Amino acid sequence: MLEATLAHLNSPTIKSSRTYEILIVDDGSKDDTSALALKLASQYPRSDIRVITLEKNLGKGGAVRHGMLHSRGHRLLMVDADGASRFEDLEHLWKSMDKVAPKNEPAVAVGSRAHLVKTDAVVKRSMLRNILMYGLHTILRIVGVGDIRDTQCGFKLFTRRAAQKIFPVQHLATWIFDVELLLLAKQLSIPVVEVPVEWHEVAGSKLNIVKDSLQMLRDLLVLRGNQLVGRWKAVPL
């Protein structure tokens, strides 16, 4: 994943038009992720790579929030480290962002796998996984982000101004945090554009389909309940 990322960012076309930094966030893991990340980073002395090691596991949402709040770029890309998304598709998100936020106004471009629904990437997944996927989409329509066909893709681009408005008021640190980010963007009138990207299933996921789906449902109810009663508010900065 890191090799593919750097190969793209250091390509002549990209390197001549923008600078970059890479933040690798280790969410309190016990498998020497930080040591491996530092070892890999040392192989690229000319690249700005920082490794953040959290003292305890916060959950994916907490790790992403920490990384976003410590990033320094004008545009911030959240991307899973498993390589499921094709990093070169950043350019599709970038072009869409240029259209919706030419001066880096608050905006979000989300990678979407919705166009892959009838392809092998989705068809070959287990029946249970697909049933839960469609169930989640139904719930999301009720919650208020049904206009986004794929909320869970780990490939999202934020302008700095959008990130500074959204992440400080994020509460959820679990798998469903993406939904909260999109709801916050909607409440803050921040435009969100959905962009098709390539994606493939990667073995080794720690997601427990049944257990984590029930947790997602619970967190969605907690999220919506707190927003409806006004405990969790998106306050424009």
Structure tokens at 48: 């700005």
Tens of pLDDT, residue by residue over 62-94, are 999 999 999 999 999 999 988 889 999 999 999
CATH number at residue 218: 3.90.550.10
Based on its alpha-carbon atoms, the radius of gyration of the chain, rounded to whole angstroms, reads: 18
- For residues 122 and 219, the model is more confident at 219
Count of structural domains within the chain:
1
Report d(CA 145, CA 98) in Å as an integer.
23
pLDDT greater than 90 at residue 95: yes
Residue 177 lies in a domain: yes
What pLDDT, on a 0 to 100 scale, did the predictor assign at position 115? 75
Q: pTM for the whole thing?
A: 0.88
pLDDT greater than 70 at residue 134: no
Tens of pLDDT, residue by residue over 41-59, are 999 999 999 999 999 999 9
pLDDT greater than 70 at residue 1: yes
pLDDT greater than 80 at residue 209: no
**Closest Cα to residue 155, out of 89, 102, 202?**
89
Tens of pLDDT, residue by residue over 145-162, are 768 888 888 999 999 999
DSSP string, 43-99: T-TTS-EEEEE-SS---HHHHHHHHHHT--SSEEEEE-TT--B-GGGHHHHHHHHHH
Residue 235 lies in a domain: no
Residue 39 lies in a domain: yes
Residue 236 lies in a domain: no
What pLDDT, on a 0 to 100 scale, did the predictor assign at position 120? 59
DSSP string, 177-195: HHHHHHHHHHHTT--EEEE
Which residues does 67 contact at the CB level (< 8 Å), separation at least 6?
23, 25, 52, 78
Query: If you average pLDDT over every residue of the chain, what do you get?
Result: 87
Residue 203 lies in a domain: yes
pLDDT (mean) for 164-177: 93
pLDDT (mean) for 10-31: 94
pLDDT confidence band for 123 (50 / 70 / 90): very low
- For residues 132 and 76, the model is more confident at 76
Vertex 189 angle, CA 187 and 190, to 5°: 110
> Which DSSP category does 231 fall into?
S
Residue 15 lies in a domain: yes
The residues with which 157 forms a beta bridge, in sequence order, are 77, 109
pLDDT (mean) for 133-151: 73
**Tally of CB atoms within 10 A around 207:** 11
Write out the residue range of the structural domain in which residue 55 sits. Answer: 1-229
Residue 53 lies in a domain: yes
Residue 18 lies in a domain: yes
Vertex 160 angle, CA 159 and 162, to 5°: 65
Which residues does 201 contact at the CB level (< 8 Å), separation at least 6?
84, 121, 124, 125
